[in-house]
Amino acid sequence: MERRVEVGVLGATGMVGQQFIRFLQGHPWFEVTWLGASRRSAGKKYVEAANWTLDGGVPESIARQTVHEAKPTNGAPKLMFSAMDASVAGEIEQAFAGAGHFVVSNSRNHRMEPDVPLLIPEVNAEHLEIIPAQRKNRGWDGAIVTNPNCSTITMALGLAPLKPFGIRKILGATLQAISGAGYPGMPSMDIVGNVVPFIKNEEEKMESETQKILGDYAGGKIAHLPAAVSAHCHRVAVVDGHTVAVSVELDRRPGVDALADAIASYRGIPQQKSLPSAPRQPVHVMPDDNRPQPRKDALLEDGMAIAVGRIRECPILDYKMVILGHNTIRGAAGAAVLNAELLLEQGLLD
């Protein structure tokens, strides 16, 4: 693609906004030209407004840019990435979509709305076909597309290759990294040497989002996967990388080797079209009994691929496995950028 597309970042000063800025540095298609944040930050240079928490300093191309209030004015570009906190994201994202912007959101606010795609490009690219209905329903010139919760995307991408075998039941238990709690995250006295067996709203999101993502687009609607999904969510003393131990019941039992082959050979439109942020192989099968591990495997293919290991039979359901993904890359900023690349490749931004 020859042309460069200007993009903006809403919630640019927060931790996820910083991940967007870092991930977009050097992107061959997108250039960050507009930064939006709270009224408190508006008018300041980015380097003054943001408490930069990531490794390295603020990118030079961003440091002196002026931060705008998160409103659809001031020359904001058509394509916007949203890292807004859920407490304010809903109305702000709707305002931008109503003003003709395409909002690719990491926030949870619109994920489960029936006319909003909850997108993993390798898994359910056809869900983008709901966008014309969304725009008609809401009277918008723009649109909202969302990416899943950071633990959901790991589990759903790992299980998507099993859809041809008929998924009936899913049981997942997460071991989630502290970076998923944002900055400053959890007090050290709560998490060091400890496991916290509750993350607010996380189990509900994993259960409902997985059903929507793995569902089919038919008859102008997204029909959710008719499978029972149960999640247990835990915060553990790991910096980056969400691990999910999953058991699954299928309509057909292909055998462990055939299951592993189906997972390892899984590809989607991002791989077929060689989208810039797409991993060469979205799901890697790890043969070693002690893998995947967050410290060794979370950055697989620059954090955009997930790893699956310990594929074996389950005495209660049919099969069980361990799935790992990088929660702030494939589970947040990287996921949204890949979504935007798919929108552009399919001509939906024209």
Q: Are 21 and 59 in contact (CB under 8 A)?
A: yes
| Chain position carrying tokens 């002026």 | 66
314 classed as catalytic:
no
Beta strands in the chain (DSSP E): 5-10, 30-37, 67-69, 79-82, 102-105, 143-146, 167-175, 195-196, 216-218, 221-223, 228-232, 235-236, 242-250, 283-286, 306-313, 319-325
CB 247, CB 224: distance < 8 Å: no
For the chain, the C-alpha Rg in angstroms (whole number) is: 20
Active site residue 242: yes
SS3 175: strand
Q: Tell me which of 224, 242, 284, 326 is the catalytic residue.
A: 242
- Active-site residue, from 68, 101, 150, 284: 150
DSSP string, 237-282: S-SS-EEEEEEEEESS---HHHHHHHHHT---HHHHTT-TT--SSS
Active-site residues, by number, are 150, 242
